[in-house]
Structure 1
Amino acid sequence: MNKKRNQDKLLEAVFKKAQSEDAPDSANGIATHIHRALETSCTQPISVDAIRGYFTKFKKEEDFNISQVAKDQFAMYVGKTDFKDFLNKDTRKVINKKRYQFLITVLILVIAFFMYDSTRKKCMIWDTNRYVKIHCEEANAKPINRMLLNNFKKLNPECSSSFFFDASGAPKVWYYKKGKGDLDLYSMPGIHPVNGKTLNDITLYMIKAHLCDSLK
């Protein structure tokens, strides 16, 4: 089956080339045109009768075999070294086409994934100590705020001045007081992520009274 398919591909390429070169639109005209072209590259080109016979049987879709000499000469006519060279380049074209189709498919899938990923989570929710992305259809979802999503976090206290204040003495921590010795600390000003209460700037008094009594 492969043998016939390869033979048919070769003949199809040969006859298409002849027609593209304005060969007469008849079996004899095409055969003569190909024979004359082969005379320039082959010492003993296949005859007009043989070429005409191949053309006629090919058009009638009959089963037939081509001699190896004819295959090699036909391959030379379409610009290849021989029939083996014709098959190798044809195979490479198929492989390259499949690789191209595979790469295109992968690219489409990657683009589709990123498009889906960029649109599927447009909301956020507070999760223990930070905001995380969720689907907007989920309960308690709120529109994404990039500043809060990337920077607003609940902090664990460290008893050092540099944890609470920058070099100029401005606060780096904001708090919500739940009770004596019980403060929620956050990395940004704003509102409490659960109860919506306004957060306060940290002060040395609040630190010493509720967190680190030894801090100076």
Structure 2
Amino acid sequence: MNKILILDAFAKAEQEIKKTGVVKPSLTQMATELSMFIEEKEDFILGERSLRDYRSDALKLEDDESDISIKQIAVINGLCKYLGFQDYQDYFQNKNSKPVEPKLGVIKSNHHYSLTIKLFIAASIIVFLVFLLYKNSQKQRWMVWQDDHYVETSFDAEKYSVHRLKLYKEDRIVSFKKVSVTCDTIFFNEDNSVRFWYGKNKNKEIEYFTDLGLHPETGKTLKPITNYMINKYVCND
């Protein structure tokens, strides 16, 4: 039933992007929205191209009894959370389906295992993931938000635990900045596409950024600037 999950997630992403003023969101915009959410909530990077491929596979099987295989459990959990559910089981229970284990393309867990065995497996997975995190952190590149931009930094377990440490992304370092705007700022390109995005910080103050993405402090998706926002909050004097 992964095909239902991926199609539901894309459908919600389309509606969320439309709320920002985009009349007809592209598949790339929808996939990017999901990719950023999964990275933020699950600390797992999956490119928008892979998500579009999953959607394409799902559409091919939409009227078929067979299912697609999503190999990353973090992606499955992230999509479920994006739809407002706690996990995979919660999602399908609310879809009035019999709870099943997600199809991962590997050996499935038997849902008839005893609670003790399940807890042992869960604990083993956690230990293994912690080991992988430590091992990969030694060679992975990281970045952290500093005042108004991201800077590359070394791994810091304390910052990682409070979600301040992010996986290094070149485009975030180069293009994503917090800026001040005035009524004289050029907010739109010649083709009327926006040049700035906005979002509220933890103090409920509106801040402006040079690219779409998540607010560095709150983790909420930034919205594209509109004439209404400009007139109300920038040029209100």
Q: Say whether the fold is shared (TM-score over 0.5).
A: no
TM-score range, shorter chain: 0.3 to 0.5
Q: Point out the structure with the larger helix share.
A: 1
Q: Which protein is bigger by CA-based radius of gyration?
A: 1
Q: So what's the TM-score if we normalise by structure 1?
A: 0.39
